[in-house]
Amino acid sequence: ALSSGINAEYGVARAMQRLEHNQEKCFEFLQAVLVVMTEEECTVEMAETIALLDFPDKKKAEAIILIKQFSELGFSTEDIVEGLKKDPVDRDALLDYLTR
């Protein structure tokens, strides 16, 4: 329990730093992280990355699946996320982006 509490505090601290200590944005961000983690099994870091994308919740769940799949193929999470920003949740477009 202590470990998960420490991880949660660290997540809140990262959120506050990312969102320039704007409490309202931080609260919305943390809610989005919880939604993502509830819908798909993923790490906190992955949920935070997805929550920062301006996608509807259904697209966020699809993005997690794509991140997992392309990460297993050896692509970096950063590159995958950049590809998703250009063409949200389109597997073929993402593959084209990553292989250029």
Q: What's the average model confidence in pLDDT over 15-26?
A: 69
Query: How many Cβ atoms are within 10 Å of 41's Cβ, its own excluded?
Result: 9
Residues 6+ apart with CB under 8 A from 51: 29, 32, 33, 35, 36, 60
- Distance CA(57)–CA(13), nearest Å, equals 23
**Per-residue pLDDT tens digits for 47-97:** 777 777 777 767 877 888 888 889 899 999 889 989 998 888 889 999 999
- Distance CA(20)–CA(16), nearest Å, equals 6
Residues 6+ apart with CB under 8 A from 22: none
Q: What is this structure's pTM?
A: 0.63
Tokens of 67: 């991140």
